[in-house]
Structure 1
């Protein structure tokens, strides 16, 4: 498994980023990692404590709100994973909101990839919030959900009554993914190879010392965390059901996208497509010690089919089913003392 290949991971101390860095190091890659503050001892310590990090891990300070920071980290790399995303807007910055900051970051990272002259492929960690089957004409949902679906950024979203956080996240992730796909190779073979992975709600274990936000959303019916439960409601109302995926499968899918000789474009990354009632029933059945919150999600009732097989058609195999994702999320929260 020993490799001399250099890869870059932006946002390397986040939930997905840190797990991805560990897997890359385990496979022998030389990994350039960006984080916002090299003086943050806990985050730097987390990365430096990973197995195989000595001599294989290089850390760089970079912030989406100052996108030129990423160029030194990308220099000399063959593959770039753009995982970092701003979840809250930095007031007083040069950008009016997190969407503008995300787009500026993507443009800068793409230009850095081009200038490096070594980057073969750019993989973007996208979100399924960009892929709602809502119809553009506000008449309801399409009856399927696959890579052709794009969340309509118009009055079709009005019925959701989104708060600022969820609205900003939908706009940011949708516009960012559309923008990055424009830089894919054209019919003349010019440009970068670009892959986007719109990931479902991510569950499972963590390298962090706390429960990651997405895991918190998956277990919100157990913890009765109202803000996290609102995010679960939001996803179900936006998508019709809730696509979920294990963090281990997410990271393996990212690595699959650099180890596959020919792959580009958009690929959904989710192994299950369930309802909040399914999650509620699982926890009530298997964890009777908890007072499981009864759902009241007012979903527009429609039998929406999960129609995407693109990633599996390429040869990728998911290892974690619904039960494993939900159980590992509970075990993660227990281990870190959340429940």
Structure 2
């Protein structure tokens, strides 16, 4: 196993992406230090402690993004640091999202500098730090890693999640350059797929809303990627020596109505469908860097079907 004898850490370990990352790291033989907000909350810990290999090689730590030095114990002795923790509510205020995202990222990186054992840091960013500016997207456009979002534009619109993720990424790159940290950032689109945690996160809630007929809160088409591919991409970003810079992690840009219609026809006859959305052809997102890293992508139809099965299994959906 590639991770045998190696120690890595995952911040925000109870989250959607992080839980899958912990699972895959344990499968590869790594010893994993993972942070949660409350060690006494079974909703944050039980699903992690039940993973194969957890008893022998998973260590949970309490850590708060805004507490200086809170990640020292987590990172001590680690070769790789995966920073996934971030506030993700799209409706929160500037104070609730921007500060924790930026300062939390810097707190983690300050801890990394203290330990010479850290060889690489992988940060979970978002496609919103890449594609969001005043320039409208058209079908002939191919979004790639050279694109950067404009936080000032979205600050005026009070879209604090976009602002927070963009400013946090910028702060991370500056700190890494100033302090000699080997940093890689990953930029997934809207993440779907089965979930390990007992609670609903934002993107799984979006799928649940769609299949139960709730008014969608996103554009007719979006950039989609399966959570298992995102977790695998994190590991590749750490293990592949040549990995560097930013990576877009997007499987497909699709009109979600068409995908749900296909699922209704072939898998779920009782599935509710939103009103048909008329939309132009979507823009494109480059896969070149991700595929060069060794990332392949689960088809969106499979990912959504697995999301729905997970929602049914955990009692959130009855179809």
Q: Normalising by the residue count of structure 1, what TM-score does the alignment of the two structures yield? A: 0.84
* Aligned partner of 2:309 among 331, 334, 338: 331
The residue number in structure 1 matching 2:42 is 41
Say whether 1:293 aligns with 2:274. yes
Local SS of the residue matching 1:127: coil
Q: Is the contact between residue 245 and residue 271 of structure 1 (CA under 8 Å) also seen in structure 2?
A: yes
Of the three residues 201, 222, 232, the one matched with 1:252 is 232
What corresponds to 1:174 in structure 2? 166
How far apart in 2 are the matches of 1:157 and 1:307?
Answer: 27
Alpha-carbon offset, residue 172 of structure 1: 0.8
CA–CA distance in structure 2, aligned partners of residues 156 and 42 of structure 1 = 33
1:276 aligns with 2:272: no
Distance in structure 2 (CA, Å) of the matches to 1:284 and 1:276: 12
Secondary structure at 2:309's aligned position in 1?
Answer: helix
Q: Structure 1 regions of 5+ residues with no counterpart? A: none
Instruction: Encode CA deviations 1:93-113: one digit per residue, 9 max, x unaligned.
Output: xx9342122111111111111
Question: Over residues 232-251 of structure 1, what are the superposed CA-to-partner deviations in whole Å (9 max), with x where a residue is unaligned?
Answer: 23xx5xxxx41111111111
Q: CA deviation at 1:156?
A: 7.1
Alpha-carbon shift at residue 224 of structure 1 (Å): 2.4
1:9-88 equivalences under 5 Å are 9-88=10-89
| 2:132 and 2:149 in contact (8 A); partners too | yes
Distance 1:295 1:176, change over 3 A: farther
Q: Do structure 1's residue 243 and structure 2's residue 232 form an aligned pair?
A: no
The two structures, once aligned, show a CA RMSD in angstroms of 2.6
Distance 2:300 2:313 in 1: 20
Q: Does the Cα contact within 8 Å between 1:133 and 1:145 map onto a contact in 2?
A: no
DSSP 3-state at the match of 1:267: strand
Q: CA 1:296/1:157 → structure 2, altered by over 3 Å: closer, same or farther?
A: farther
Q: Which of 132, 144, 147 is the matching residue for 2:145?
A: 147
Residue 304 of structure 1: aligned partner: 283
Q: Is the 8 A contact 2:38 2:62 kept in 1?
A: yes
Deviation at 1:336, TM superposition (A): 1.2
2:35 and 2:310 mapped to 1: Cα distance? 25
- Match of 1:192, SS state, is coil
- Over 3 Å counting, the alpha-carbon distance change for 1:118 and 1:274 in structure 2 is same
Contact kept? 1:133, 1:144, Cα under 8 Å: no
SS of 1:131's equivalent in the other structure is helix
Q: Is the 8 A contact 1:183 1:194 kept in 2?
A: no
Deviation at 1:303, TM superposition (A): 5.1
Say if 1:79 and 1:246 are closer, same or farther in 2 by CA, change over 3 A.
same
Alpha-carbon distance in structure 2 between the residues aligned to 1:243 and 1:261: 28
Give the 3 Å change call, closer, same or farther, for CA 133–175 of structure 1 in structure 2.
closer
Q: Residue 10 of structure 2 contacts residue 35 of structure 2 at CA under 8 Å; is this kept in 1?
A: yes
